Structure 1
């Protein structure tokens, strides 16, 4: 039942990779032309970014909590603090290893 016309999986994967590479080359060539055309039209019509109504690449999070620091929940005798968020700070880890418990540092 062997068919000499059937390609192996490896041969097909090699063809796919070659086609992807060729597609990327064609895209790069066409892209340069498209960008040039768009830039010429932008200049000809004196367009500004706001005229094109593109959304910003940067995602902005608008919240009343942005920039607000978390309240301090733990403090040691030297004034070092931790809000309880994220990893435990070194000073707290060392104190726990020394026999203290987290509750000893509650504010």
Structure 2
């Protein structure tokens, strides 16, 4: 991983956490509750993102449907919904912040 991109991402995340008043403890709590929510997933993207079918449809699913994909393509069988997907590494070659003003400024 490119150390500069990593540092830029960390700076960006710290800035956004401060902006919204998120502490490391609240983030850890939210992440822990997200893990328990994964067992209730009804839809899953190839990247491992999930949606229970409740609340607002996530952007990854809206975009896929807008592109012509059916929602059934992402539906999980009851057995698959209980399984936890394998963690995938981040592809820093596709870093969404690369080349952005935030990345160039080091998050300042």
- TM-score interval for Structure 1 and Structure 2 normalised by the shorter chain: 0.3 to 0.5
The normalised TM-score by structure 2 is 0.35
TM-score, with normalisation over the residues of structure 1? 0.35
Higher gyration radius (CA) = 1
Q: Which has the higher contact order (CA 8 A, sep 6+)?
A: 2
Query: As a proportion of its length, which structure holds more helix?
Result: 2
